[in-house]
Every structure is written in structure tokens, then in C-alpha cells.
Chain A
């Protein structure tokens, strides 16, 4: 039987995000063989690897999209690229916004967009919040979502096209 995949993405930027890495490696599932992990760690200082799965510093967007399709749970920084993909594939997500005071970004703009995430299947771990325990049964029960929903705003695209070409 194929094990459920937990995908962790820290985006393409050059700031480390060790806090998120510390959260996930403290979860019992990190050292369990009951699920696969894929960790895109970016500028993180990666020390421990999960019991089962892979770690990569950076992967092309097409590969990330393929992993998102397969993932039963996505754990992500609060970047717009990641947000776009998980919305397209209607995934169960835990977002952890990067914050400036921990040297995770040059400012706190990820907190701004995090405050706008109201999706019921997306948890946001704000600074000071406890990272939730991962529930294997809930992860296993996740129905596969492999077909994307088109979430492009064509009204804006029409205006941009007009502004560029009229």
C-alpha cells in the first residue's frame, strides 16, 4: 500500500526557516515509517532527515506541482506560490508564516497574507501559536485531489491584457 505523503515546502527565497524544520522534526511522524515525507528545505540548515522520504534544497515548479498532487498534507511557509498551488489542488495545509524577528525574511509581509487565509482546510500557525500534532488517521483519510481548479482571475487578466496591448 502506498504511504501517504507529507510535503513540506519552504519556497524559493534565500532566508533560512529553521523554526519550521524544528516543528516538523519534533513530530512523532517524522521518525515513523507510516508515511513518506518530501522536504524542500531551501536555505534551511538541514540536520536530521525523516525516517521515510526525501529532502531537496530546491525543485522546479513542475516537480513541486506533481508532489502537491500526490500530497495528503502540505506544510508550507506562507508564500504566494505555495498558496496558489494548494488552492488549485484543494489540499489540507498547515501554513507557518516567516517572521522577520527570527531572521526568516526581510519583513513580516507573510503575516499580512496569512491574516487573509480563511479556508477551512488551511491552518495558520501564527507566532506564539503551538504547531499542531500531526494526525496520521486524518492524513490517511485525505481524498486524493489530482485535478486542479482554475483559480485565475480572468477579469484582472483581461484588464492587464488591455493595459499592455491597447
Chain B
């Protein structure tokens, strides 16, 4: 019997993860999370792998790359999804090397330009689908799509 495929979600704790939860809310497959903190009690994820956090350390990114190989062997995801932050970079590279489908949604907080991680993913063509949550940002880049924001910033009945 074949193993049920999962989607690997890579997102830093906090806002990146919030957006990932919203954006994958209609995915029926199992979701496995890779995160820099394990303080989440969320039944959306079948498993959580905790990796080291970094913004700029090549050493930590290299460690996470090796850890990522182990995670991919264990999980064998059918696709990968990320909303950033920088911890997604080794996984974006692994997705490219293993030809695993990779969908990247740049963070909502980047209103006027892509995030630094987003710029690297766009520059090296690491994502099969690249989305920005702001139309003026998406139009600056060939191949970057805009389909709205992960959640509604409107008033929701506020008086």
C-alpha cells in the first residue's frame, strides 16, 4: 500500500506561520511543518520538525540544509510550501535539487518590495510558483503572481 503523500510547510514562528496556516487552509493532504520554534498546539499539522533559526549565518543554513535532507527522506512530500522567513532558503534549494514542487508566498509585511528571502528565491528561480501579496510588488517581477492576501485587512464590523 502506498504511503499517503504530505505537503511540507516551512515557516518561521509568528506572522509567517499565521499566513501559512491561512494559505493552506483548503489543502486536504497531511501538512508537516518545519519551524524555528516548537510552541505550537495546532491540529493542522501532522508533525512538526524544529530547526535552528538564522537570518544570515551560512553555517546554520548549512546545518539546516543537512537536516532538510533527513526531513525530506523521512516525509517524502509531494510538494513544499513556504511563507518565509530565511529558514526557508535551504528548503527552497532542496526543492530545486530534488525537483519537488515548491510554492512560495512572500510575506504580507513586504508592501513595497520583496523580502530578502523572496529576492533570493526569485533571483535563483527556486520556486515553481512565486506569489506576492501586494500587486505593485508582483508587477515589478516577471513570473511573480498576485492573487490577494492571506487574510483580510479590512474592518470586519469594527465600529
Give the complex CA separation of A163 and B24 in angstroms.
Answer: 11
Tell me the minimal C-beta distance from B119 to chain A in angstroms.
12
Give the complex CA separation of A84 and B149 in angstroms.
Answer: 12
Check if B26 sits within 8 Å of A161, measured CB to CB.
Answer: yes
Q: Is B18 an interface residue (CB 8 A)?
A: yes
Instruction: Give the A interface residue count (CB, 8 A).
Output: 46
Q: Is A60 an interface residue (CB 8 A)?
A: yes
Q: How large is the interface on B (under 10, 10 to 19, 20 to 34, 35 or more residues)?
A: 35 or more
A interface residues with partner B (beta carbon < 8 Å):
11-14, 58-62, 79-85, 87, 90, 106-107, 109-110, 112-113, 115-121, 149, 151-161, 163-165
Q: What are 27 residue pairs bridging A and B, where the CB atoms are less than 8 Å apart in the complex?
A: A11-B15, A12-B14, A60-B41, A61-B39, A79-B15, A79-B109, A80-B15, A87-B151, A87-B152, A87-B156, A106-B55, A120-B159, A149-B156, A152-B22, A152-B150, A152-B151, A152-B152, A153-B148, A156-B22, A156-B149, A157-B24, A160-B26, A160-B105, A161-B28, A164-B78, A164-B101, A164-B103
B interface residues with partner A (beta carbon < 8 Å):
7, 12-19, 22-29, 37, 39-42, 53, 55, 78-79, 81, 101, 103, 105, 107-112, 115-116, 128-129, 131, 147-159
